[in-house]
Structure 1
Amino acid sequence: MQRDAARLLYGNAVAGIMISLLTSSFLVFAFSYPRVDPLKKMWWFGMFILLLFRFIDVIWWKIKLQNTEFDGKKSITHFVIGANITAIMWSIYLVYCTNQVNDVQLTTTIIAIAATAGGSATVLAAHKYTAMFYPCILLVPGSIGLLLSEEKSLHLLGILGLSFAFVMLLISRKSANFTVHTLFLKNENSVLIDSMEEKVKQRTQKIYELSNLDPLTRLYNRTAFLEQLKRVTTKSEKQFALLFIDLDGFKKINDSIGHKAGDDILRETANRLNQFTSNTQLVCRWGGDEFLVVFAETDEKRAVEKSNKLISLLSEPHTTENSILSVGATIGIALYPNHAKTEDRLIQLADMAMYYQKKQMRSAVCVFNEEMEELFAYDLHLKNGLTKAIENKELRLVFQPIISSQTLKVAAFEALLRWQLKGKDIPPDEFISIAEQYGLIHEIGAWVLNQACLEVKNWNTEQEVIVCVNVSVIQLQDDNFISIVESALSENLIPPELLHIEITESVFASDLVVITDQIKSLQAMGIQVSIDDFGTGYSSLSAMQDLAVNMVKIDRSFVNKIDSNGKAIISAVMHMSEALNFTVIAEGVETQEQSQALLNLGVHYFQGYHYSRPLEIKNIPAYLEENQNNT
């Protein structure tokens, strides 16, 4: 508000100064009286110097301060000092004239000063006290001088002067109040507008962030990234590389340590991506622990080099939740325009390359090629078929016997899942991974459990035969898994002792706390648990001790090498079984020599083609009868 007042005062200053200069020059030089001329000219010289300083002050203010955030109070002080001194100078001149000049000059002087006083009410209205002081100091001393004059004819002028001064005082006060109020309203509205503009700006920024930025990482979200990528693909023909990045091991951290640690890792990953790209590239959090990055003007060789460096950066340890955690990154690359020219297709191909690489080896880089698309199409074909496999009755179970090494009697059958899609047998190692990848394993696994229990119920044998069912680690981690097992047992009236659960050795790479709790719950029900494919890479002695499983199945790869280093490994497992109190089953037994060697090592049970291939359900009764007769 003070700056606005200063602008009004200085805005009218040049005109006021010029009028004062012209008026003073006219009054001094238009009337010549040798007796008073020297004093008048001295007064005029003083007024000229004063007006010159005021003019310089005005010019300096206009050049240096007018368009800046200047100190309004200081500027007003400079102005009013000059204006009030000018008023005093005029007052001195009028008082002097009341006694020294003739009637014509005195009348002219009074008129000129009265006019100046009248103009000051408007010109000085931005500063109330100066606006009121200026006409009073101009008129009151001179009017009093007229009243004190010996010439009675001048008394009337004195009264008129005082009356005019009083009127000008009221007018100046009212004009100043109006001007001050106007400036107050202007600034109040300005503050309100600024506040509204700031709120609108903040709201606009908030809307932008909500619609364009991922709230956790502050990277582009899907929508914004797709829009930006579309602009690039439509406006530029320059080659670039699109990276699809998936963090390795993130889910385990998120599930075991907590979502806060997971969020910290995602934020730090975003920071590292921005650091690596120097904030000049398109970077996006695609969802979950997946990120997209565009490297502009980059060919395949350069993209692979940069991706390997990026993997190293993203794989550096994270310190969070008082823990040092590590995740890896697998990257798939699609090139524009070599592989695709649209944003959707580029992302699809980079995603395809990433998943392909994940199946081969994690924490590595893969560039898309046409072979991957064929594999992806095949996987999609299997996925679509699996979604209706149960409904279309395409799934069935076959059962491979597990034989006691001492009696050679059937102790159990392992239920093995088979799938025939449009007349073609699909190997389990192809469709099981698809079922796990697309979340179909839960429904299929529940069907297998129920179907296996149903078949056990239908076997008419004097001897109780156990059924072993393979369970995915993904199933085992499901909170509803125990309920699914209980339901399969109760619906088919099967005692828990006739059901064994087999889990693959990959369980050791999972959240052992959750797995251990699930195993204990199964064992509390009377169900025994075995580790399948033991020795293929994940197991550890400490984990074996914590899990406390009932059985271990030695992988066929060691049975095949029993004549070499396989024998030492199997022997070590047997020593472990004595210490940890679990039973050992050897898989892949195909010859009598292998059977005898395993028996000599003390293996408890055999399973393999030497005793039987997996049997169709209809052939089981005959096999069991033959087994009983032969033993």
Structure 2
Amino acid sequence: MYSNGYAGIVISLVASSLLVFGFTNAEIQTFKIYWWVSMVGLLLIRLADTFFWLKKNKTTEMDGKRSILRFSVGTIATATMWCVYCLILFPYIDTIELAFNIIIVSAMAGGASTVLAGSKATAMLYSAILLIPFSIALLLEPQFHEYILGILGLSFGFIMLLTANKSADFTTLAIRLKNDNATLVEHMEAEVTARTHQIYELSNIDPLTGLFNRSAFLNHLRADLKSSIKAEKPMALLFIDLDGFKKINDTIGHETGDKVLKQTADRLKEHYKNHQLICRWGGDEFLIALENTNQSEAIVIADNLIKHISAPYIFFKNRLSISATIGIAMYPEHATNEQVLIQLADTAMYYQKKAFPSTAGVFSAHLGKQLAREQRLKDALSEAIENQQLRLVFQPIVDSETFQPVAFEALLRWQLVNESIPPYEFISIAEQYGQIRKIGAWVLCEACKAAKSWQTQKALSVAVNVSVIQLQDNDFIEIVDNALSETGLPAKYLHIEITESVFAADKETLLDKIAGLQNRGIKVSIDDFGTEYSSLSVIQELSADKVKIDQAFVASLDTNGMPIVNAVLQIAKAFGYDVVAEGVESLQQAEILRKAGVNHLQGFYFAKPLETSMLKKYLKGLALPLID
């Protein structure tokens, strides 16, 4: 604004001199002269202020707000002088001089929208003082030409206000960009260094732990593998998974969980100094690559790491304990590719966590075969229904007094080419890879269809095993309803068998699901009772219809099994539940259980699982060959 100060002062001086001396009017000439002298005095003050700022403050430290205020006061005072001139003189001047007045103040208002754009308030106030009072005064006059000039002046005044507003915004942005660019140029080297470091960290560093992320670790591991290959030296990869971390996250909170992860990372750094080879792989998983390390050395290091990680964590006066399970894969014995090496170490960790948690284990050929078989079964199981490889067989459950069947338990079988895959193997795969929902729905429908078909011979129920994953499905009740609706089987002939282990999950939700089944008339049995999760608490909270005594207790009736059977019978009697004993293989066992008060029996003594084609003959009481 000050840099345009000289031009603005000169224009104001020329314009004021032109109006005062170019148009003479004896009646008002004296006022004009006094006004002009006052204007010249004001302009001289502004000229001195401009000179002072340009010569002194421009090159020294200054108070910017104070300078802007000083400039604005002089500018607004000038606009006020013009406003006074126009308002006082317009009744005494002719049309030509009046037109000159409106043109000059409009021109100065137009110039101010850009010249004064450095201060939005000054630019807009200057234009408003110049035009709006004068224009309003003209609008109030009776003469038509004065009315028209008033409209034009007022319209132009509002346009100048809008223009001044936009110009000020643009100028402010331009000044800010200019200053930013100047700062960037002045501190270019420091800025570039800082931003490069920031980009590097965003691309390579895990923000929570400060360890390398996946991408950076893979790049380093790839390079180190090449070095190991060239030097013909071994390398060990450790896949670390924290034990008990999820419980801390769920019970104490994610903030504490993050602190545990950060402190774990610090412990890994302390234990292994080459930080380039440590990575947070994701969640509570970490990787460490050990150069020039053989298998026995890697096991020792892994065991020491587990001890180091397992030391207590203390936060907010809370003493927390976690541990770690570590899987180890070796170069070159197991793999020469970094991705495969990580996969095999992960496989070793997963196996170790299931079998021997909080220990270290090394990948082996046996694990490799297990992995390959699991992958083959997983792929084949996804199409087993479409390829008609799955089928149901049925084992009768008989009345303990009459030995007559009262229900059949549906058991799933899978024939893959020439191999019969045992249920304990493929059911766990189906659960692990999310295929159990589809298979479970198929089993329910097929079991209900079979039960409906034998109703013409005898009204017998069908029992279907259901996993916790199926029960957790939001659509499980709807799937059961669809199976009953599609087959026409009455709900009272369907029994759902669950194991106690389901209650280790979300107990409240599962109890609601079970209540929903019972409300439909479906019977619910607790399978393998006494072998799983919190038996007494489960039977207290769950209004089951039956409990099934596990075959392990039946097999040991002559030793320590009978006290367990008697205890289950007493509990069941107190709650009004029927009792089924599984695994009955002899008449002696059947008699002992009947006399003890067991309601129903199931086992090879009565029949092994029957193919569907054998059911009609069985129901007619014909002699049948027993099958697996």
Same fold (TM over 0.5): yes
Pick aligned residue for 2:465 from 466, 470, 483: 470
How far 1:368 sits from its partner (Å)?
Answer: 0.9
Asked if 1:578 corresponds to 2:582, the answer is no
| Amino acid in structure 2 at the alignment position of 1:224 | A
Match of 1:387 among 382, 386, 389: 382
Superposed CA offset, 1:514-556 (max 9, x none): 3323222322332222222222243332233223333222111
Per-residue CA shift, 1:417-466, capped at 9, x if unaligned?
10011122111111111112222112111111121112122223354221
Work out whether 1:504 is the aligned partner of 2:499. Answer: yes
User: Partners of 1:611 and 1:318 in 2: how far apart?
Assistant: 57
Matched, 1:539 2:534: yes
Aligned to 1:421: 416
1-structure distance, mates of 2:445, 2:311:
45
The offset of 1:174, in angstroms, is 8.7
Contact 1:252-1:510 within 8 A present in 2 as well? no
Task: Look up the equivalent residue of 1:526 and give its one-letter code.
Answer: G
Give distance in 1, aligned partners of 2:391 and 2:590.
30
- Residue 605 of structure 2 corresponds to which residue in structure 1? 610
Say which of 442, 447, 451 aligns to 1:447. Answer: 442
- Secondary structure of 2:456's match? coil
- Determine helix, strand or coil for the equivalent of 1:564: helix
**TM-aligned CA distance change 1:218 to 1:190, over 3 Å:** same
SS in 1 for 2:620: helix
CA distance in 2, matches of 1:593, 1:327: 50
Q: What SS is found at the alignment partner of 1:589?
A: coil
Is the 2:391–2:413 contact (alpha carbons within 8 Å) kept by the matching residues of 1?
yes
The question of whether the paired residues in 1 share the 8 Å contact of 2:528 and 2:548 is answered with yes
CA–CA separation in structure 1 for the residues paired with 2:247 and 2:487: 35
The 2-side partners of 1:440 and 1:321 are apart by 43
Give the distance between the partners of 2:186 and 2:486, measured in 1 at CA. 72
Give the corresponding residue for 2:217.
Answer: 225
Distance in 1 (CA, whole Å) between partners of 2:358 and 2:504 is 16
Query: For residues 39-438 of structure 1, what are the structure 2 equivalents within 5 Å?
Result: 191-193=183-185, 204-205=196-197, 207-214=199-206, 217-236=209-228, 237=231, 238-248=233-243, 257=250, 261=253, 264-265=256-257, 268-278=260-270, 280-281=274-275, 282-312=277-307, 314=309, 329-438=324-433
Alpha-carbon distance in structure 2 between the residues aligned to 1:194 and 1:311: 51
Instruction: Kindly indicate whether the alpha-carbon contact (under 8 Å) linking 1:410 and 1:627 is maintained by their aligned counterparts in 2.
Output: no
Where does residue 621 of structure 1 map in the other structure?
Answer: 616
Q: State the 1:352 CA deviation.
A: 1.8
Q: Is the 8 A contact 1:252 1:511 kept in 2?
A: no
In 1, Cα distance between equivalents of 2:453 and 2:234: 65
Shift of 1:471: 1.3
Partner of 1:90 in structure 2? none
- Does residue 563 (structure 1) correspond to residue 558 (structure 2)? The answer is yes
Amino acid at match of 2:550: D
Amino acid at match of 2:253: A
Paired AA for residue 413 in structure 1: F
Shift of 1:213: 3.7
Partners of 1:555 and 1:600 in 2: how far apart? Answer: 18
Instruction: Name the SS for the 2:394 alignment partner.
Output: strand
Distance 1:194 1:404 in 2: 94
Report the equivalent of 1:484: 479
**Which residue identity does 1:301 align to in structure 2?**
S
Q: Deviations over 1:240-279 (max 9, x none)?
A: 321223345666776xx48x83574365135314313326
* Contact 1:330–1:357, Cα closer than 8 Å, also in 2: yes
CA contact (8 A) 1:410 1:465 kept: yes
Tell me the C-alpha RMSD between the 2 structures: 3.6
Q: One-letter code of the match for 1:223?
A: S
Give the drift of 1:360.
2.5
CA contact (8 A) 1:404 1:606 kept: yes
The change in CA–CA distance for 1:241 and 1:413 in structure 2 (over 3 A counts) is: same
Counterparts in 2 of 1:481 and 1:329: CA distance versus 1, 3 Å = farther
The verdict on how the C-alpha distance between 1:247 and 1:594 changes in structure 2, with shifts beyond 3 A counting, is: farther
CA contact (8 A) 1:265 1:318 kept: no
Cα deviation, 1:289-323, whole Å, max 9, x if unaligned, reads 43323344443334323433444555567789999
Q: Which residue pairs with 2:510 in the alignment? A: 515
Residues 173 and 572 from structure 1, CA distance in 2 versus in 1: closer, same or farther, beyond 3 angstroms?
closer
Please give the secondary structure, in 2, of the residue aligned with 1:234: helix
Q: Is the 8 A contact 1:530 1:550 kept in 2?
A: yes
Alignment check: 8 A CA contact 2:499 2:532 kept: no
Identity rate, percent: 50
In the other structure, the counterpart of 2:154 is: none
The 8 Å contact of residues 239 and 287 in structure 2, kept in 1 or not, is answered as yes
SS of residue paired to 1:614: coil
2:481 aligned partner, one-letter code: E
Q: Distance in 2 between matches of 1:196 and 1:545?
A: 73
Of 420-429 and 577-586, more deviation after overlay is shown by: 577-586
Check whether the contact 1:219–1:270 (CA below 8 A) recurs between aligned residues: no
Distance 1:235 1:265 in 2: 37
Aligned CA distance change for structure 1 residues 445 and 275 (closer, same or farther; 3 Å): same
TM-score (norm 1): 0.64
The answer (yes or no) to whether the contact 1:272–1:313 under 8 Å persists in 2 is no
**CA distances 1:11-64 after superposition (whole Å, capped 9, x unpaired):** xxxxxxxxxxxxxxxxxxxxxxxxxxxxxxxxxxxxxxxxxxxxxxxxxxxxxx
Partner Cα separation in structure 2 for residue 271 and residue 425 of structure 1: 49
How far did 1:180 drift? Answer: 5.1
Is the 8 Å Cα contact of residues 242 and 295 (structure 1) preserved in structure 2?
yes
Confirm or deny: 8 A CA contact 1:379 1:434 kept in the other structure: yes
Structure 1 residues 192-221: Cα deviation after superposition (integer angstroms, max 9, x where no partner): 446777776665455444433445555433
Amino acid at match of 1:576: I
Offset, 1:490 = 2.1
| Structure 1 residue 615 displacement after superposition | 0.7
Q: Which amino acid aligns with 1:599?
A: R
Distance in 2 (CA, whole Å) between partners of 1:385 and 1:322 is 52
Native 8 Å contact 1:509 1:538 kept in 2: yes
Distance 1:404 1:283 in 2: 63
Counterpart in the other structure of 2:543: 548
Q: CA deviation at 1:328?
A: 5.1
Unaligned stretches of 5+ residues in structure 2: 1-50, 65-174, 624-628
SS of the aligned residue for 1:211 comes to: helix
- Whole-Å Cα distance in 2 between the matches of residues 613 and 266 of structure 1? 54
- Structure 1 residues 356 and 589, CA, compared in 2 at 3 Å: closer, same or farther? same
CA contact (8 A) 1:460 1:621 kept: no
Residue 526 in structure 1 maps to residue 521 in structure 2 = yes
Change (3 A) 1:328 1:321: same
More off after superposition, 450-459 vs 507-516: 507-516
What SS does structure 2 have at the residue aligned with 1:569? helix
Q: What is the letter of the counterpart of residue 221 of structure 1?
A: N
Distance in 2 (alpha carbons) for counterparts of 1:519 and 1:253: 30
User: Which 5+ residue runs of structure 1 have no aligned equivalent?
Assistant: 1-170
| C-alpha separation in 1, matches of 2:506 and 2:616 | 40
CA deviations on 1:312-351 (whole Å, 9 max, x unpaired) are 5555677899998766543211123332222112112112
Q: Give 2:70's aligned residue.
A: none
Change (3 A) 1:332 1:401: same
Q: Structure 1 residue 491: deviation in Å?
A: 2.1
